[in-house]
Chains A and B, each alone.
Chain A
Amino acid sequence: MPINRDKACHKLLFLSLFIVLLALLYPRTLPARSGDLILTIGVYENAPKVFISESGKPAGIFIDIIEYIAEKEGWRLRYLLGTWGEGLDRLEKGQIDLMPDVAYTGDREKIFDFHKVPVLSSWFQVYARKGSGIRSILDLGGKRIAVLERSVQHDAFVRLSAGFGLSTTIIPLPDYQAIFDIVARGGADAAITNRFYGTMHAKKLGLEDTAVIFHPSDLFFAAPKGVNKKLLDAIDINLIKLKRDTESIYYQSLKRWISEKVPFKLPNWVKATGLVLVVVLLMSLLGSMVLKRQVNMRTRDLQKTNLFLHASEQKYRELVMLANSIIMRWSRDGQIIFLNEFGQKFFGYTEEEILDRNVVGTIVPDKESTGRDLHLLMEEILANPQKYERNINQNVRRNGERVWIDWTNKVMLDEQGQIKEILSIGSDITDRILSEEQIRKLNDELRRNAEVLEQRVAERTAELVIAKDQAESANRVKSAFLASMSHELRTPLNSIIGFTGIIISELAGPLNLEQKKQLKMVRGSSRHLLNLINDVLDISKIEAGELEISSEKFSMRNAVNQVAESLIPFVEKKELNMTVEIAPEVEVIYGDERRIRQVLINLANNAIKFTEEGGVKISCRRCDSSIEVEIEDSGIGIKNEEIDRLFKPFKQLDTGISRKYEGTGLGLSICKRILEIMGGHIRVKSQFGKGSTFTVILPLNREGKDDEKENPDH
């Protein structure tokens, strides 16, 4: 049976009377105990949670519960009937003490106080005429939706439909009854009520529930802000007890108002349906408990997430504001929209000074020190920011100091995809740029220096080439001079030695003994002079690298024998012994015979010269790949420290020995160098005062080995 407006008016009249009666009679009939609290409860039509029953009394789950608690706590209750909206107004103004069935929201908490244990959990559901075809929220697009004005579901639905991009016509109405009526009449396409009301009333009006369910919420008694905390605590304490006891008034009330029909006349099939509905409702209640738990958990999670988000946003703000990077947002026309604290300090502006000003003329100079036009560059960046996602340019501080910034530019687009603004993050790289410049300068300097050096080296090389040419030319001149000198000296010596020899041999006539003796002295001196000339010429040739060594086949045996023979007169003169030992395998070798003889004569001469007693032994043998000639004497010997200096040119001239033993001091030096040029060497062993052994080592070339069996004699 539909409840119509007339009936509601009757009820209102009746309730007013009832309230007046209560006000007049109660204090007398039921004297208040000391401390009794009189509470005014707002009542409105929201069956089965709160409503005026057929008998005209306030009824419903919230009423049952608050009456039970009031009795327990010794409160006295008064009811003030009105619409939902009137109720909220009165509560806000403090005209009533409690408003039942108020869903908790953050906004409401600002103006009302709530207790903590929810009385019920509910959600909102969309109801429509049977066969409306509304199956999901999307089907509500373009529809007229009736909602309770100023209600949570009103706001929640507006947000929900906006989230889905739906355009709906909202019809706000003062109570649920009106909402269902207008839908039943076809004045609206769908109604939104809480699930309790909908379950109870939809069917009667030929409406059905749709699958559109949203905004689960906890329902409480709400009290005026900051007025009576104790009252709410008492409600909580009682609710906890009530909810714990399954036989309590709480569950009885739920059973009564949700499972038992409100006194309506219903056909049997409706009763049967009602029974089923009760079961369903109980199930849904159970489900709602579970849901409530989940919602609570979700809420806690959300709160945590919110806290986290808040904290992270805070962090982000701090990060942006205090980051050691310049963070700037600027508009398409170049105006600075945001500059973080670091950026402000860096460039030397306060926020007020820099905001809304153009980048050019503030932090961007007209021209870079390199000459680049930054005006143009900024225009280019604005025209094509993607191209300049990474850009290094010069900037300027307020004090005029030029700095180099490495910018990362990000484009922020608006809904239409147009460039709204540019986010630029910059790092000061002035030091790096300056260092690089310094390095470049140093490199340039180094390069210049290197070029100068190279130039000098080239010049020096050229000078040296000239010097070398001059030296070489001087050397050639020297060699030519020596050759010429040698020739010029030999020519007169040729006559001296030649004619002395002729006279001594008495080819030109007989001589007396004295004449002969004196002429022999002339000849000796001439020969010595010739030796000196030869030695000087040799050492000059050696030092000029001009000494040439020939390689001809000759008999080593013959050469050694002939050298020894030529020395016999000198050995005999000093009354010394001379022994020659030539091993049988020493035969023909390849080499410069004249030079080998020169070396052997020189060494043997020395041996004789420095030996006063004993004798000289010349021995020759073949080793694996060399010929060794050993010249051993029993002469004065050489001190150890003298041996190293022995082969230095003019050595003998350095010492006092030259007085006693004639010689240029060039002989050993020449021998050593000649042997080295031949690939051989000289070895010396000596004991001071006992004698010396000089060993000549001559390498054998292959030809020498091949021909070793050949008879050396011509």
Chain B
Amino acid sequence: MTKKKILIIEDNEQNLYLTTFLLEKQGFDVVQARTGLQGLELAVSQKPDLILLDIQLPVMNGYEVAGRLKQDVETRSIPIVSVTSYAMAGDREAILAAGCEGYIEKPIDPDSFVAQVKSFLPGQERGGVV
């Protein structure tokens, strides 16, 4: 079984390190993007199996990034999971409306995080949303 590639788009260095650490420990190939624009480029060039997307990004926010990914034929089929801290009412609806397949609430639980991510991978049984 080939390693699954996951693109993480996250501007906070510590959080980026945390999720990268957890995923790599579990044997995932992780590609990091620190801005939305970079994320879009890497999504096209790296063809990841799944994208973890932070919503509160500088310059281009997560909604826009998700929207663009879903408009692009090349990236349309890649599942996007938003990792967010549910700041405002309507955030969840907005996330799903922007084209994300799912969301994981911040702060993440290191014990169950990888299992949650896996459930969104194509060919996997989707788990409950916590």
Residues of A within 8 A of B (CB): 479, 483-484, 486-487, 490-502, 505, 507-508, 526, 530, 541, 546-548
Determine the main DSSP class of A at the interface with B. Answer: helix
**Contact present for B22 and A494 (CB under 8 Å):** no
Which of B25, B85, B89, B110 is A490 in contact with, Cβ under 8 Å? B85
**Contact present for B12 and A491 (CB under 8 Å):** yes
Complex: how many Å from CA A505 to CA B110?
9
Given contacts A483-B88, A546-B89, contact A494 B18 (CB under 8 A): yes
Complex: how many Å from CA A500 to CA B107?
12
Which of A486, A496, A526 is B87 in contact with, Cβ under 8 Å? A486
Residues in A neighbouring B14, C-beta threshold 8 A: 492, 494-495
Most buried by B among A492, A500, A501, A546: A501
Q: Closest residue of chain B to A485, judged by CB?
A: B87
Q: How far is the CB of A288 from chain B (nearest CB, A)?
A: 127
Q: Closest residue of chain B to A498, judged by CB?
A: B18
**Contact present for A547 and B87 (CB under 8 Å):** no
Complex: how many Å from CA A546 to CA B90?
9
Given contacts A499-B18, A502-B21, A502-B22, contact A493 B107 (CB under 8 A): yes
Q: Closest residue of chain A to B87, judged by CB?
A: A483
**Contact present for A487 and B110 (CB under 8 Å):** no
**Contact present for A486 and B110 (CB under 8 Å):** no
Residues in A neighbouring B89, C-beta threshold 8 A: 541, 546-548
Determine the main DSSP class of B at the interface with A. Answer: loop
Q: What are 6 A-B interface contacts by the 8 Å CB criterion?
A: A484-B87, A494-B85, A495-B12, A498-B22, A501-B109, A546-B89
Complex: how many Å from CA A491 to CA B106?
8
Residues in A neighbouring B111, C-beta threshold 8 A: 501, 505
Complex: how many Å from CA A456 to CA B22?
66
**Contact present for B107 and A487 (CB under 8 Å):** no
Q: Closest residue of chain B to A501, judged by CB?
A: B110
**Contact present for A498 and B87 (CB under 8 Å):** no
Given contacts A497-B107, A498-B107, A507-B25, contact A491 B15 (CB under 8 A): yes
**Contact present for A494 and B107 (CB under 8 Å):** yes
Complex: how many Å from CA A484 to CA B88?
9
Q: How far is the CB of B23 from chain A (nearest CB, A)?
A: 12
The residues in B between 8 and 49 inclusive whose CB is less than 8 angstroms from any CB of A are: 12, 14-15, 18-19, 21-22, 25
Residues in B neighbouring A499, C-beta threshold 8 A: 18, 110
**Contact present for B15 and A502 (CB under 8 Å):** no
Residues in A neighbouring B109, C-beta threshold 8 A: 497, 501
B 45-63 binary contact with A (CB < 8 Å = 1; else 0)? 0000000000010000000
Most buried by A among B18, B25, B107: B107
Which 10 A-B pairs rank lowest in CB-CB distance, beginning with the nearest?
A: A501-B110, A494-B107, A483-B87, A490-B85, A495-B14, A498-B18, A546-B89, A483-B88, A497-B107, A487-B87
Q: How far is the CB of A562 from chain B (nearest CB, A)?
A: 8
Q: How far is the CB of A161 from chain B (nearest CB, A)?
A: 119
Residues in A neighbouring B121, C-beta threshold 8 A: none
Residues in A neighbouring B90, C-beta threshold 8 A: 548
How many chain B residues touch A (Cβ–Cβ < 8 Å)? 21
Complex: how many Å from CA A123 to CA B11?
147
Is B98 in the interface zone, CB < 8 Å from A? no
**Contact present for B85 and A498 (CB under 8 Å):** no
Q: How far is the CB of A510 from chain B (nearest CB, A)?
A: 15
The residues in B between 80 and 111 inclusive whose CB is less than 8 angstroms from any CB of A are: 85, 87-90, 106-111
Apart from A497-B108, A530-B107, what 16 extra A-B contacts exist at CB < 8 Å?
A487-B87, A490-B85, A490-B106, A491-B12, A491-B85, A495-B15, A495-B18, A497-B110, A498-B108, A502-B22, A502-B110, A505-B111, A507-B21, A508-B21, A541-B89, A547-B89
Q: Closest residue of chain B to A483, judged by CB?
A: B87
Residues in B neighbouring A495, C-beta threshold 8 A: 12, 14-15, 18
**Contact present for B106 and A494 (CB under 8 Å):** yes
Q: How far is the CB of A516 from chain B (nearest CB, A)?
A: 14
Q: How far is the CB of A596 from chain B (nearest CB, A)?
A: 14
Q: How far is the CB of B93 from chain A (nearest CB, A)?
A: 8
Complex: how many Å from CA A271 to CA B30?
177
Residues in B neighbouring A491, C-beta threshold 8 A: 12, 15, 85, 106
Complex: how many Å from CA A505 to CA B25?
12
Which of B18, B88, B108, B113 is A479 in contact with, Cβ under 8 Å? B88
**Contact present for A502 and B87 (CB under 8 Å):** no
Most buried by A among B21, B108, B110: B110
Residues in B neighbouring A546, C-beta threshold 8 A: 88-89
Q: How far is the CB of B19 from chain A (nearest CB, A)?
A: 8
Residues in A neighbouring B12, C-beta threshold 8 A: 491, 494-495
**Contact present for A487 and B56 (CB under 8 Å):** yes
Which of A484, A494, A508, A526 is B15 in contact with, Cβ under 8 Å? A494
Residues in B neighbouring A486, C-beta threshold 8 A: 85, 87
Residues in B neighbouring A498, C-beta threshold 8 A: 15, 18-19, 22, 107-108, 110, 113
B 98-130 binary contact with A (CB < 8 Å = 1; else 0)? 000000001111110100000000000000000
Q: Closest residue of chain A to B12, judged by CB?
A: A491
Q: Closest residue of chain B to A480, judged by CB?
A: B88
Residues in B neighbouring A497, C-beta threshold 8 A: 107-110
Most buried by A among B56, B106, B108, B109: B106
**Contact present for B85 and A502 (CB under 8 Å):** no
Q: How far is the CB of B89 from chain A (nearest CB, A)?
A: 4
Q: How far is the CB of A11 from chain B (nearest CB, A)?
A: 150
Residues in B neighbouring A492, C-beta threshold 8 A: 14
Complex: how many Å from CA A498 to CA B112?
11
Q: Closest residue of chain A to B15, judged by CB?
A: A494
Residues in B neighbouring A484, C-beta threshold 8 A: 87
Q: Closest residue of chain A to B13, judged by CB?
A: A495
Residues in A neighbouring B87, C-beta threshold 8 A: 483-484, 486-487
Residues in A neighbouring B56, C-beta threshold 8 A: 487
Q: How far is the CB of A566 from chain B (nearest CB, A)?
A: 10
Residues in B neighbouring A501, C-beta threshold 8 A: 109-111
Q: Closest residue of chain B to A479, judged by CB?
A: B88
Q: Closest residue of chain B to A534, judged by CB?
A: B86
Q: How far is the CB of B63 from chain A (nearest CB, A)?
A: 15
Most buried by B among A483, A493, A508: A483
Q: How far is the CB of A176 from chain B (nearest CB, A)?
A: 136
Residues in B neighbouring A530, C-beta threshold 8 A: 107
Complex: how many Å from CA A502 to CA B109?
10
Q: How far is the CB of A660 from chain B (nearest CB, A)?
A: 27
Residues in B neighbouring A490, C-beta threshold 8 A: 85, 106-107
Q: How far is the CB of A484 from chain B (nearest CB, A)?
A: 7
Most buried by B among A494, A499, A541: A494
Q: How far is the CB of B81 from chain A (nearest CB, A)?
A: 15
Q: Closest residue of chain A to B91, judged by CB?
A: A483
Q: Closest residue of chain B to A545, judged by CB?
A: B89
Q: How far is the CB of B120 from chain A (nearest CB, A)?
A: 15
Complex: how many Å from CA A502 to CA B90?
31
Q: Closest residue of chain B to A502, judged by CB?
A: B110
Q: Closest residue of chain A to B108, judged by CB?
A: A498
Residues in A neighbouring B25, C-beta threshold 8 A: 507
Q: Closest residue of chain B to A523, judged by CB?
A: B110
